[in-house]
Amino acid sequence: MATNDSVNVLNSAYLAVEYIESFLPDNPLQQPFKNAWNYMLDNYTKFQIATWGSLIVHEASYFLLCLPGFIFQFIPYMQKYKIQQDKPETWEKQWKCFKTLLFNHFFIQLPLICGTYYFTEYFNIPYEWAEMPRWYVLVAQCFGCAVIEDAWHYFLHRLLHHKRIYKYIHKVHHEFVSPFGMQAEYAHPLETLILGTGFFIGIVVFCNHVILLWAWVICRLMETIDVHSGYDVPLNPLHLVPFYAGARFHDFHHMNFIGNYASTFTWWDRIFGTDSQFVAYQEKEKKHLMKKKAK
């Protein structure tokens, strides 16, 4: 009975979104995207699409999303939005980060990406345009993947901070007390595998088309680069996502090496009280600002 009620609620939600969508103007990018997608299917094998397509999506998305934060360091106006203003980025740190990233991307992540084709074949995941899910289904699936990944990340990230294992694995990621966007995937190879597992769980649960693989890659990179950016920029559209943690939340974790363990949302830290120091810090900052304004 409960299952039927859940199905009815989901069906009603889909119908409501479809009804709203009927009033929206046609997407001018849909036809060019369809043409490009079909061209890709006609000219490349599934193995090439799943492997090299996924690699290109990951690398292009990662470094393009890192670009705004990289540029901010050269714009004096943006420095007022930098969270740790006393710790500017240095070329030495950024170059070291870039070299480690290239190693992780091509010697750790690429071998995993090579398994994408076999994953899609084993689960009969389609590539065809006609079977591509609607945009709102894709958004819901990405949100579901984020919820699952966030839970995995919270508990495993917290475990990696245990005093008996911290110095062997997670300490690498904390080399930079003041994070910057490119540092999002700067980590020990074992950490890349341990925390990265959470990324794939949602794919196993929700994936019904290869497009979800790429959409979820982009969403996850957008989030993790944002929280590592070191900048709390106003009007950030990601803050419209309910319970979104954001850069200040994660930046505090890098400053103090404790608490705020979740990757995307705030609820696990609130439930287990691991955001208590952050909450106290925010209250202290508010009082300081109020005193400043009073003067």
Within a domain: residue 173? Answer: yes
| Overall average pLDDT of the 131-152 stretch | 95
pLDDT value at position 282?
A: 86
Within a domain: residue 31? Answer: no
Name the residue range of residue 132's domain.
46-61+92-294
Q: What is the band of 12 on the pLDDT scale with cuts at 50, 70, 90?
A: low
Within a domain: residue 105? Answer: yes
Q: What is the band of 29 on the pLDDT scale with cuts at 50, 70, 90?
A: confident
Cβ–Cβ < 8 Å for 49, 41? yes
> Given a cut of 70, is residue 10 above it in pLDDT?
no
Within a domain: residue 100? Answer: yes
Number of domains, the chain: 1
Within a domain: residue 80? Answer: no
| Overall average pLDDT of the 111-122 stretch | 95
Within a domain: residue 66? Answer: no
pLDDT value at position 6?
A: 45
Of the given ranges (4-13, 30-39, 96-105), which has the lowest mean pLDDT? 4-13
Q: Retrieve residue 216's tokens.
A: 């979820």
Of the given ranges (2-11, 36-45, 188-197, 198-207), which has the lowest mean pLDDT? 2-11
Within a domain: residue 135? Answer: yes
> Given a cut of 90, is residue 39 above it in pLDDT?
yes
pLDDT value at position 8?
A: 56
Within a domain: residue 8? Answer: no
